[in-house]
Structure 1
Amino acid sequence: MTAYDINPYKGSEAGTGWNFVIQGARFNKIIAITRENNQSDIEKYIIEHNIDLSNIMFYYYDLPYYLRFWKKGARGSSIYFYLWQMFIPIFIKSNKIEFDIAHNVNFHADSFPTFLWVFHKPVIWGPINHNEKIPKQYILSKREYIKDRIKWVIKNFNWRLDPFMQLAKWKVNLIIGGNSSIQLRLDLDNRKFLHLSQVGAHAHTKYVKPQKLENEFNFLVVGRFLTIKSFDIAVKAFDQFYNKLSSFEKNNIKLRIIGQGPLEKSLRSIIGKLDSKSSIQLEGWVNKDEIDNIYRDSSVFVFPSHEGAGMVTIEALSHGLPVICFDNYGAGEFVNGDCAIKIEYSTYLNSVQSFANAFLKLYSNKDLYSNMSKSAVAHFENSYSWEQKGLELERIYSLY
């Protein structure tokens, strides 16, 4: 199992890498290969949590310095990832690593091919993923629009013209896509494609929602402040919802926004002009224990993002939070009508109004809220717990 990023202390890509290793090892022996910079955190976590390694062996690999000296943080990360994938078969051969099935887990980008097919063994590639174009009406600056469209052109170039991408599609046995757009963009038939999201979370103890419908009602947003997230829609919709409430009700609601990012100044500027500004809290990043407490203290999760994934949506479901999101290839495919209100793409102003209506609907209808909260937990347990994904992994591996 190769995974560029594995870190048990993190979420997103790194957390997925760790959990795929752990879940795969429930039923199989896993040889996990990841980058050297993940080693210290992995070994520390193994000691702290007494992780059973009877079915797991870790190898740590990076390119020689002369092939990576130019990589600084995110700068050059895409090129480096491509080269890391390309050279990893050499590392496997030089270390005489024996295996029966090769599984290329992450990064999830579907525009960078796997090279594990060179071993002529069964190869599983994914879950891979991508972000679709952000609809133009939700991009508030020309610069951000140009950046997004350039990324889209590069993706299409890689999908169609990279010869190694075509070889990977042809040679691998199964491609797992994090959303259904992967099959469309890579032009895959059903025999080689499986839709299985890469996101997951751990199950929590007992269903404890709904709690404070008579008192405090908190809407929650979590994520980086980026154009693709459209958090401006969340705050403007909250303001419209806020202005429909009585003075007493206004004192009992909050919109909590957890995160940071390059658009923080812009978001603060928008909030500063709203009637509801005193009820909107920007709280910065918090650690894992704190975010779990915040989920527990929240009532509804709001996620107006256009990305093709969204780990935070699944974390919210695991805590029994109904979700309000766009009906898109990302969060829109993670949820169903029993646990979420999905907003169709429309004009910018119509979208703000639709989110505001959804806020009011969940706030004012206690029975609806209670049922959707229960359904959120059930949907999570049936589809997105890491334990459930472990069973799915075993089913996939058993095919080969």
Structure 2
Amino acid sequence: MKSSRLSGASWRGELSPAIEGVGPWPSGPSRKLAEGNPQTMEPQERLKILLCAYACEPHRGSEEGVGWNWTLQLMREHEVWVLSWSKYRELIERELETSPLPHVHFVYYDMPSWLKPFGRSERLYYTLWQLAVLPFARRLHRQVGFDVIHQLTYTTVEMPGMLWTLDAPFVWGPVGGGQVPPPALKSYFRSIWLVELGRALRKQFLRLNPLVSMAARRAACILVANQDTYRLVESLTSVPLVKASETAVRLPSDVADRAEDEIFTITWWGHFIPRKGPLLALDVAAELRQRGARFQLLMGGVGPWKGLVDRRIVAMGLKDNVKTLGYLTFEEMGPLYDNGDVFLFTSLQDTSGNVVLEAMSHARPVVSLDHQGAAEMLTEECGIKVPILTKQQVVEDMATALQDLSRDPVRRRRMGKAGRRRVAEHYDWDQKREIAAQIYAAAVRGDTPSRARETVGAV
């Protein structure tokens, strides 16, 4: 593993062997894959991949975990240069001190200091970073000669970056973000509902975004994470679209069984922000309490609405039933799932939901809204999906689903085992390597696989 100390201060200079920790690397593309199974490549046949993972951090979920875990998979068959935000450098290099990664070269970039005040807006900063990194990436490509350029994180369909302008096959995704929040549940967004409406409207006019439309046309292949995004992207381009989730999990080797005489425990984890639906979770808890159910709801996470949630718990008389746990590390998440009987997923707008897969991997059934990525991850064998008609109907149906599961431990165990099987068959990280191998091989050979081709791990 090699990493560089490149930042906004050095982005104007030419890349050279003199830059600490970077290169020199052989110039020009590597030898292309021979016909046949791409998993049988010899070391000299490793493709040179530039993986743009703006968010990339070990032992994390969400976007950071997507960037890191795709890196771990790609390095098994390719030589990978990971282009990431310098914010993650310290955490990555600390991890590499004890667990070095062969065939991986981390390259960090940050914008010039005069642009950093824009960091107060995460969306704007990310957009500017993607634009500003292009000259830097172009010089890196001139020195290394990449076989494939892969735009990974953030996994938003609204900002593909500019790396598609480089002279190499461009792979984009998996992308999500095509989903919009359900109007029936708009009250859970409170004062920012109009902002969400604006975002939804912007997606409807995505074809007017020149960066998106040009990237969609130039791509060798686009991976899409859910059906909402697929419908949005398919109207922009005729290039191959592959349905594949952006995330996956590792199955824990041992899963703890819950004693039947313990209090029925519902777990919830997420950022305390409107689109994760923490206020919906509280309404469901209040409905259960009104019905006289004996339960506890454990809510892990942090965020700007944490204080609001704590105050609502007191105001709604739920102190004996609902507890907020604060920040949990990735390692602490396992015990949270194991200490629960059912996982409650109330996200109002999500590409997929890593926590859904994590709960399934711990053999816990999931109660979720029947929409967006979670609806594609879950089946009736491993979860209960609640349709969205009205706010009151959603609250009552979620409470009923939880109450039914509380009374049937045999059904809970059966659904938990089915969830683990589904994860093993469709959402294991190893399958991302297989997806990438197929797509990269086709891209460098100039193949054009049929649209909507189902791949391993497809949603």
1:268 corresponds to 2:313: no
Looking at structure 2, the residues matched to 79 and 231 of structure 1 have their Cα atoms a distance apart, in angstroms, of: 26
Identity %: 24
RMSD: 2.1
Q: How does 1:88-127 map to 2 (within 5 A)?
A: 88-95=133-140, 96-127=143-174
Given candidates 340, 357, 380, the residue that maps to 1:314 is 357
1:5 corresponds to 2:55: yes
Looking at structure 2, the residues matched to 204 and 62 of structure 1 have their Cα atoms a distance apart, in angstroms, of: 36
Distance apart, 1:153 and its partner CA: 3.0
Looking at structure 2, the residues matched to 289 and 207 of structure 1 have their Cα atoms a distance apart, in angstroms, of: 14
Distance apart, 1:353 and its partner CA: 0.6
Return the letter of the residue paired with 1:295.
Y
Which residue in 1 is equivalent to 2:87?
A: 37
Distance apart, 1:104 and its partner CA: 0.6
Greater CA drift, 100-109 or 139-148: 139-148
Which residue in 1 is equivalent to 2:416?
A: 373
Distance apart, 1:63 and its partner CA: 2.6
Deviation per CA, 1:30-75: give whole Å up to 9, x if none: 1111122221111110112x2332x111111223333x23223xx2
Distance apart, 1:243 and its partner CA: 4.2
Q: Contact 1:9–1:41 at 8 Å: present in 2 too?
A: no
Given candidates 207, 211, 215, the residue that maps to 1:160 is 207
1:83 corresponds to 2:133: no
1:304 corresponds to 2:352: no
Given candidates 47, 51, 54, the residue that maps to 2:100 is 51
Given candidates 212, 217, 223, the residue that maps to 1:170 is 217
Which residue in 2 is equivalent to 1:145?
A: 193
Looking at structure 1, the residues matched to 184 and 200 of structure 2 have their Cα atoms a distance apart, in angstroms, of: 16
1:324 corresponds to 2:374: no
Q: Where does structure 2 lack aligned partners over 5 or more consecutive residues? A: 1-50, 444-459
1:287 corresponds to 2:329: yes
1:216 corresponds to 2:263: yes
Q: Contact 2:156–2:177 at 8 Å: present in 1 too?
A: yes
Return the letter of the residue paired with 2:262.
N
Looking at structure 1, the residues matched to 273 and 121 of structure 2 have their Cα atoms a distance apart, in angstroms, of: 20
Given candidates 88, 91, 110, the residue that maps to 1:62 is 110
Return the letter of the residue paired with 1:11.
G
Distance apart, 1:273 and its partner CA: 4.3
Deviation per CA, 1:72-98: give whole Å up to 9, x if none: 3xx233233223323433213323232
Given candidates 403, 417, 429, the residue that maps to 1:386 is 429
Distance apart, 1:169 and its partner CA: 0.9
Q: How does 1:237-256 map to 2 (within 5 A)?
A: 237-245=284-292, 250=294, 253-256=295-298
Distance apart, 1:201 and its partner CA: 2.0
The 1:306–1:92 alpha-carbon spacing in structure 2 relative to 1, beyond 3 Å, is: same
The DSSP-based 3-state class of the residue aligned with 2:118 is coil
Looking at structure 2, the residues matched to 191 and 368 of structure 1 have their Cα atoms a distance apart, in angstroms, of: 44
Distance apart, 1:289 and its partner CA: 2.2
Deviation per CA, 1:324-365: give whole Å up to 9, x if none: 001111212221111110000111111011001100111112
Q: How does 1:338-349 map to 2 (within 5 A)?
A: 338-349=381-392
Given candidates 318, 321, 335, the residue that maps to 2:378 is 335
Return the letter of the residue paired with 1:108.
T
Looking at structure 2, the residues matched to 127 and 275 of structure 1 have their Cα atoms a distance apart, in angstroms, of: 43
Distance apart, 1:276 and its partner CA: 4.7
Looking at structure 1, the residues matched to 421 and 53 of structure 2 have their Cα atoms a distance apart, in angstroms, of: 30
The 1:244–1:70 alpha-carbon spacing in structure 2 relative to 1, beyond 3 Å, is: closer
Looking at structure 1, the residues matched to 191 and 100 of structure 2 have their Cα atoms a distance apart, in angstroms, of: 47
Distance apart, 1:274 and its partner CA: 4.1
Q: How does 1:347-358 map to 2 (within 5 A)?
A: 347-358=390-401
Distance apart, 1:188 and its partner CA: 5.0
Greater CA drift, 37-46 or 272-281: 272-281
Looking at structure 2, the residues matched to 202 and 190 of structure 1 have their Cα atoms a distance apart, in angstroms, of: 34
Distance apart, 1:144 and its partner CA: 1.9
The DSSP-based 3-state class of the residue aligned with 1:33 is strand
Greater CA drift, 178-187 or 82-91: 82-91
The 1:384–1:62 alpha-carbon spacing in structure 2 relative to 1, beyond 3 Å, is: same
Distance apart, 1:130 and its partner CA: 0.8
Which residue in 1 is equivalent to 2:75?
A: 25
1:194 corresponds to 2:228: no
Distance apart, 1:264 and its partner CA: 2.9
Distance apart, 1:189 and its partner CA: 6.4
Q: Contact 1:132–1:306 at 8 Å: present in 2 too?
A: no
The DSSP-based 3-state class of the residue aligned with 1:71 is helix
Looking at structure 2, the residues matched to 164 and 131 of structure 1 have their Cα atoms a distance apart, in angstroms, of: 16
The DSSP-based 3-state class of the residue aligned with 1:324 is strand
Which residue in 2 is equivalent to 1:180?
A: 227
Deviation per CA, 1:183-220: give whole Å up to 9, x if none: 212225685211111122222113444x2223232100
Q: Contact 1:306–1:330 at 8 Å: present in 2 too?
A: no
Q: Contact 2:222–2:239 at 8 Å: present in 1 too?
A: no
Return the letter of the residue paired with 1:195.
K
Looking at structure 2, the residues matched to 269 and 132 of structure 1 have their Cα atoms a distance apart, in angstroms, of: 30
Distance apart, 1:133 and its partner CA: 2.7
Return the letter of the residue paired with 1:285.
Y
